[in-house]
Amino acid sequence: MQDNKDKRPLADVKILIIRTSNWIRALEKFRTDVNYQGLIEEVDTKEELEDQLCRFVHAMRKKDGSRISCFFS
């Protein structure tokens, strides 16, 4: 029984990695679509990073085109 308990955190980490990769891919696509240059890691200032991330979150849509509800609650 202990083996299953030990494997669960690893499965959670794998899911987190997949979801994070999906968000980063969506962010980079957004940045390309709005003609930002370079990668997100290359943004120099906190203000510019914050601006780009806010614009990304504001622009997010579901696959059906509807807005994504706030997920920071």
pLDDT in tens, 8-44: 688 888 999 999 999 899 999 999 999 999 989 999 9
Q: Which residue has the tokens 């969506």?
A: 26
Q: Is residue 44 part of a domain?
A: yes
Q: Report how many domains make up the chain.
A: 1
Which pLDDT value is given to residue 67?
76
- Residue 19 belongs to what domain range? 2-59
Give a yes or no: residue 70 inside a domain.
Answer: no
pLDDT at 55: 92
Confidence class of residue 7 from pLDDT cuts 50, 70 and 90? low
Q: What is the pLDDT of residue 58?
A: 87
